[in-house]
Amino acid sequence: MGFLCSAVGRKIVMAVTGLLLLSFLSVHFLGNSLIYVGQINAYGEKLHSMPPLVWAARIGMIMLFAFHIFFGIKLTLENWSARPQSYAVKRELRATVASKTMIWTGLAIALFLIYHLLHFTLRMTNPDISSGVDALGRPDVFKMITLSFKNVLISGAYIAALTALALHIFHGIQSLVQTFGLNSDKSLPRVERAGRGIAILLFLGYASIPVAIIVGFLSFKG
């Protein structure tokens, strides 16, 4: 507990949970990208065949997210209360939109996660298009995704959340490197480029699906 009571310990927890969540996002996108090759229903069937493993992974991710949120809010409030005004002014010169909005993008992502779980996991927000099976008797994930994202409001909400996620990842990667003491004047530009690149790749990857559906590249014919 002493580890978690120190600012350094809490920052390390933030860094580790953030890295694990980023890894999950990358793997999750690889699964989602199967929609482009017509294998998303096979992927869904495989997941449905392993409920204990899938739910263990979901609970683990929720716990990681809860730790990340809790310590993120705690550290932010501590910084706000302890930071001298003169220090704040100096830091403002190097601040970015991503760094200044970390707490807000984090909260936006948390709210989006709740909606996402209700939408695609628990299937409570759109039950009329979230059920049914395909011709092979598999859960029709393709139908659920394509009919959902045909709604421009749903697609817009997802893309807005992805924008918040990209900003959060961009600064989060820099914070992670700084937490482990790997940053320097020489490495900082490289870290910034890497963070920006990863954030953009994930944004474009995830956002490409609702965009492809809106423009008709992917559509449900049934």
Give CA 148 to chain center in angstroms. Answer: 19
Query: Is 32 among the domain residues?
Result: yes
Give how far Cα 219 sits from Cα of 38, 42, 44, 143, Å.
11, 17, 18, 8
150, part of any domain = yes
Task: Confirm whether 220 is domain-assigned.
Answer: no
pTM of the model: 0.86
- CB atoms near residue 9 (< 10 Å): 14
Give residue 20's pLDDT: 95
Give residue 88's pLDDT: 44
In a domain, 72, yes or no: yes
Please give the residue range of the domain that contains residue 157.
2-214
Any domain includes 191: yes
Give the list of residues 6+ apart from residue 98 with CB closer than 8 angstroms, or none.
105, 167, 168, 170, 171
One pLDDT digit (tens) per residue for the chain, 222 residues: 567 777 788 889 999 999 999 999 999 999 999 999 999 999 999 988 898 998 899 899 999 999 999 988 888 888 888 765 544 444 443 567 888 888 899 999 999 999 998 998 888 888 878 777 888 888 899 999 999 999 999 999 999 999 999 999 998 998 888 888 777 777 788 888 999 999 999 999 999 999 999 999 998 876
CATH number at residue 45: 1.20.1300
CA-CA distance, 52 to 62, in Å (whole number)?
A: 15
- The answer to whether 20 and 64 are in contact (CB under 8 A) is yes
Has residue 54 been placed in a domain?
Answer: yes
Please give the tally of structural domains in the chain. 1
Say if 219 falls within a structural domain: no
Look up residue 162 and give its amino acid: L
Residue 218: the pLDDT is 92
Instruction: Evaluate whether residue 222 is within a structural domain.
Output: no
The confidence score (pLDDT) of residue 91 equals 45
What is the C-alpha to C-alpha distance for residues 44 and 143, in angstroms, rounded to an integer? 12
